[in-house]
């Protein structure tokens, strides 16, 4: 913890109740200390920096004005919640952020009563907040519910679905639009602050109420005209007409870094009588208060450990290119030969490598915003008219568009290619970003071609393969992080659909790997060979269509068959088991051991440690083989312990 001389006010704040004992005049200094503490902490742990820096003053103001945790404060995405965590009893653990056994990088219900809703995917806060508000009303309570959502998250349809529902109800819900990209707001200043204070004040709202009641004495057309005249007058002054049309009382825009502007508006909204939802529009600056972040193109959205003075990040030199960069380079090479190839991503151009593709082909790359459902159906339309769309979306983000994958792509057998980044464990981002389910949720769909890259060279070949599949949907998955350092082809060679490969021949044990655990399978084979157990290692490459000939051969020629995948139960192993069972190949005594992710969520940590917990590293494979062969428990335990 920082010394008291550096953070004298922050040292007095263990919980928001302590914060509320401070004088308003002390809050500016407290915010400065909080910002410094956050910068220092993230310099040690890495993580999301820019978003949290942008909401320091807003976080202080919200906890000062509202009675958290009785009042429910919900952060959308919640990658901006580090200042919130420091103020809510977690300062002593803030330097464990995103570390194994430490604090989550997002809000977490199991972590604190001040985190009423866990989040890491975008655009959920208004829906959750409305649920809390209606539950409060049904129970006859009087607490406030506040949802904080960013302007980027407002690009998702779910936010508007929630606003439309909230606007048609009478439940009091406070939504704070944190506009840190100036994408909505006009200039903010003294006049804007004055107008915001005025229209959020009780006298204005009371006069508005009286005028509304008076207008009800007139015929319906006059009532409607009077209401719309007042709303549009305020909308023209403040820019909130869209939100008024959705049924929200709009206040703003206000400077989200100016406590003299924030506090009176929040007080007015807190103390306002009446019902219905209110939206407060705050304009903030991502990376505020830290020069290296303010000057960076991405405002230091996500950072590694860094030097506080210089802002230089301490990123280790990679031993091999990242899977994401290999995908981007491979797609560019394919697109240079085929002008029908286009790339689509949903607000993650940098994370998926589509930014590199866009640099090369600016007219053929599309970032549709946080709108995965739209992205998938958009790709369907492109495919219908002869183009070759690559929908490049993280595994866990693609979950949000599952209905579109089923209805708009699979049923119509459209050749959309799904490039699925972040397959398997993802390290510090934790459970919300782990690609555990795509093998299962795509594998149930008829006609899909499913591939998984065992290494970065295989990924190059799978990009080339997907580019040539033109009669049905396909998907290929690959992990986060760097590759294995294998020799790379200049350009991908299309694979034979539904055919795997033998990596190492053996006679006793067979390991059939689907995806990037192949390296661990080879290590396990070395260990087993040293114990006198000849081991075959095979790379399935395809889950659908399954290489049935390869599966049957491995089952016939080996005493033990182990399947290995970075996915939940119901994925690749299920297809292998189904085939072996229906062909009677389990009737002759084959010892089959499926190795999948366990039926539980695995918290953030280093990827290797996550796979240790999942039981999918080389020593766990060896233990499975020994157990299947009847080795005694002591031997098996000595391997797996």
137 vs 20, 131, 143, 273, 346, CA distance in Å? Answer: 26, 10, 9, 15, 36
Query: How far from chain centre, in Å, is Cα 323?
Result: 18
The answer to whether residues 511 and 538 touch, using CB atoms and an 8 Å cutoff, is: yes
pTM assigned to the model: 0.89
Residue span of the structural domain in which 558 resides: 501-640
387 is in an annotated binding site: no
Q: Is the pLDDT of residue 537 over 80?
A: yes
- Same domain for 459 and 527, yes or no, is no
Look at residues 419, 358, 429 and name the one whose alpha carbon lies nearest to residue 389: 419
Comparing 84-88, 209-213, 274-278, 431-435, the range with the smallest average pLDDT is: 209-213
pLDDT, position 185: 43
Task: Please indicate if the annotation marks 180 as binding a ligand.
Answer: yes
User: Is 638 known as a binding-site position?
Assistant: no
CATH number of the domain to which 619 belongs: 3.40.50.920
In a shared domain, residues 430 and 564: no
The answer to whether 614 touches 567, Cβ cutoff 8 Å, is no
Tell whether 359 and 388 lie within a shared domain. yes
Q: Is residue 47 situated within a structural domain?
A: yes
Q: How confident is the model at residue 183 (pLDDT cuts 50, 70, 90)?
A: very low
Point out the catalytic residue in the list 286, 358, 422, 544: 286
Percent of the chain with pLDDT over 70: 90
Question: Are 333 and 305 contained in the same domain?
Answer: no
Is it the case that residue 363 has pLDDT exceeding 80? yes
Q: What is the pLDDT of residues 546-561, one digit of tens each?
A: 999 999 999 999 999 9
| 351 and 297 share one domain | no
Per-residue pLDDT averaged across 56-82, rounded?
A: 97
What pLDDT, in 10s, does the model give residues 110-139? 999 999 999 899 999 999 999 999 999 999
When the pLDDT of each residue in the chain is averaged and rounded to a whole number, the result is: 91
Same domain, yes or no, for 528 and 446?
A: no
Mean pLDDT on 390-400: 97
- Whether 551 is in a domain gets the answer yes
In a domain? residue 232: no
Whether residues 34 and 70 share a domain: the answer is: yes
Residue 4's pLDDT band (cuts 50, 70, 90): low
Residue 238 inside a domain? The answer is no
Same-domain check for residues 468 and 511: no
Please name which of 120, 32, 30, 19 lies closest in space to residue 69, comparing C-alpha atoms. 19
Q: Same structural domain for residues 309 and 452?
A: no
Region label for 325, one of left (φ > 0), alpha (ψ between -120 and 50) or beta (otherwise): alpha
Inside any domain, residue 241? no
Do 3 and 65 share a domain, yes or no?
yes
Q: Enter the DSSP assignment of 641.
A: -
User: Cα 399 to the chain's mean position, in Å?
Assistant: 11
Whether residue 560 lies inside any domain: the answer is: yes
**Is 80 exceeded by the pLDDT of residue 69?**
yes
Whichever domain contains 8, its CATH number is 3.40.50.970
286 is catalytic: yes
374 labelled ligand-binding:
no
To the question of whether residue 290 is assigned a binding role by annotation, the answer is: yes
Instruction: For residues 262 and 168, give the distance between their C-alpha atoms in angstroms, rounded to a whole number.
Output: 27
User: And the tokens for 63?
Assistant: 């906890």
Quote the number of domains for the chain.
3
Q: What are the Cα distances from residue 323, in Å, to 110, 383, 396? A: 33, 25, 17
Q: pLDDT at residue 631 above 50? A: yes
The lowest-confidence range among 194-208, 274-288, 482-496 is 194-208
Given 400, 480, 544, 593, the catalytic residue: 400
- Which of 315, 332, 361 is at the close of a domain? 315
How far is residue 273's CA from residue 568's CA, in Å, rounded to a whole number?
A: 50
Q: Is 637 annotated as a binding residue?
A: no
Considering the domain boundaries, does residue 225 fall inside one? no
DSSP letter (8 states) at residue 144: -
| HEC-encoded secondary structure of 340-400 | CEEEEECCCHHHHCHHHHHHHCHHHEEECCCCHHHHHHHHHHHHHCCCEEEEEEEHHHHHH
Q: How many CB atoms lie within 10 A of CB 222?
A: 12
Within a domain: 292: yes
On whether 178 is known to bind a ligand per the annotation, the reply is no
Q: Compare 160 and 202 and report the one with higher pLDDT.
A: 160
Query: How far apart, in whole angstroms, are the C-alpha atoms of residue 139 and residue 15?
Result: 27
Choosing from 372, 456, 458, 520, the catalytic residue is 372
Q: What pLDDT score does 191 carry?
A: 43
Q: Annotated binding residue at 538? A: no
Task: Determine whether 372 is an active site residue.
Answer: yes
> Does residue 68 share a domain with residue 26?
yes
Indicate if 293 and 342 belong to the same structural domain. Answer: no
Distance CA 158, CA 177 (A): 15
């Amino acid at each position: 913890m920082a010394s008291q001389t550096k953070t004298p006010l922050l040292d007095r704040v263990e919980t928001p109740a302590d914060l509320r004992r401070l004088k308003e005049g002390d809050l500016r200094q407290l915010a400065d200390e909080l910002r410094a503490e956050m910068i220092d902490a993230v310099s040690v742990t890495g993580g999301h920096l820019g978003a949290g820096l942008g909401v320091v003053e807003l976080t202080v103001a919200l906890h000062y004005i509202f009675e958290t945790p009785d009042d429910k404060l919900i952060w959308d995405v919640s990658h901006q919640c580090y200042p919130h965590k420091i103020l809510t009893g977690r300062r002593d653990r803030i330097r464990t952020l995103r570390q194994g056994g430490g604090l989550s990088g997002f809000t977490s219900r199991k972590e604190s009563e001040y985190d009423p809703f866990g989040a890491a995917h975008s655009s959920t806060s208004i829906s959750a907040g409305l649920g809390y508000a209606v539950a409060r009303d049904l129970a006859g309570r009087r607490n406030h519910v506040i949802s904080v959502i960013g302007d980027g998250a407002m690009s998702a349809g779910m936010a508007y679905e929630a606003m439309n529902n909230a606007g048609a109800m009478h439940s009091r819900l406070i939504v704070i639009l944190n506009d840190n990209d100036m994408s909505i707001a006009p200039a903010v200043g003294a006049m804007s602050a004055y107008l915001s204070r005025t229209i959020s004040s009780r006298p204005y709202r009371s006069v508005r109420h009286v005028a509304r009641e008076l207008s009800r004495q007139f015929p319906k057309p006059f009532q409607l005209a009077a209401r719309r005249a007042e709303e549009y007058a305020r909308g023209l002054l403040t820019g909130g007409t869209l939100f008024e049309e959705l049924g929200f009382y709009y206040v703003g825009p206000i400077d989200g870094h100016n406590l003299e502007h924030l506090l009176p508006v929040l007080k007015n909204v807190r103390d306002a009588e009446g019902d219905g939802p209110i939206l407060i529009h705050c304009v903030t600056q991502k990376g505020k208060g830290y020069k290296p972040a303010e000057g960076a193109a991405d405002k230091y959205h996500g950072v590694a450990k860094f030097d506080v003075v210089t802002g230089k990040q301490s990123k280790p030199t990679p031993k091999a290119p990242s899977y994401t960069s290999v995908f981007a380079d491979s797609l560019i090479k394919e697109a240079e030969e085929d002008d029908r190839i286009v790339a689509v991503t949903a607000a993650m151009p940098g994370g998926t490598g589509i930014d590199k593709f866009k640099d090369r082909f600016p007219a053929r790359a599309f970032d549709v915003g946080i709108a995965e459902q739209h992205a998938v159906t958009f790709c369907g339309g492109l495919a219908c008219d002869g183009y070759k769309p690559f929908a490049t979306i993280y595994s866990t983000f693609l979950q949000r568009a599952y209905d579109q994958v089923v209805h708009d792509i699979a049923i119509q057998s459209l050749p959309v290619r799904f490039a699925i980044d972040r397959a398997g464990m993802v390290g510090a981002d934790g459970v919300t970003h782990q690609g555990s389910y795509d093998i299962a949720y795509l594998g149930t769909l008829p006609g899909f071609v499913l591939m998984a890259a065992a290494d970065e060279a295989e990924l190059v070949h799978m990009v080339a393969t997907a580019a040539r599949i033109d009669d049905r949907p396909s998907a290929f998955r690959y992990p986060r992080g760097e590759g294995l350092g294998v020799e790379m082809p200049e350009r991908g060679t299309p694979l034979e659909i539904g055919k795997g490969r033998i990596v190492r021949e053996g006679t006793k044990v067979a390991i059939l790997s689907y995806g990037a655990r192949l390296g661990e399978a080879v290590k396990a084979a070395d260990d087993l060979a040293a114990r006198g157990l000849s081991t075959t290692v095979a790379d399935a490459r395809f889950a659908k269509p399954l290489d049935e000939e390869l599966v049957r051969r491995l089952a016939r020629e080996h005493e033990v068959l182990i399947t290995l995948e970075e996915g939940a139960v119901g994925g690749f192993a299920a297809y292998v088991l189904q085939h072996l069972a229906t062909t009677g190949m389990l009737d002759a005594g084959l010892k089959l051991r499926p190795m999948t992710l366990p039926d539980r969520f695995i918290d953030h940590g280093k990827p290797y440690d996550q796979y240790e917990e999942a039981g999918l590293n080389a020593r766990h494979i060896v233990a499975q083989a020994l157990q299947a062969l009847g080795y005694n428990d002591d031997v098996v335990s000595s391997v797996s312990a």
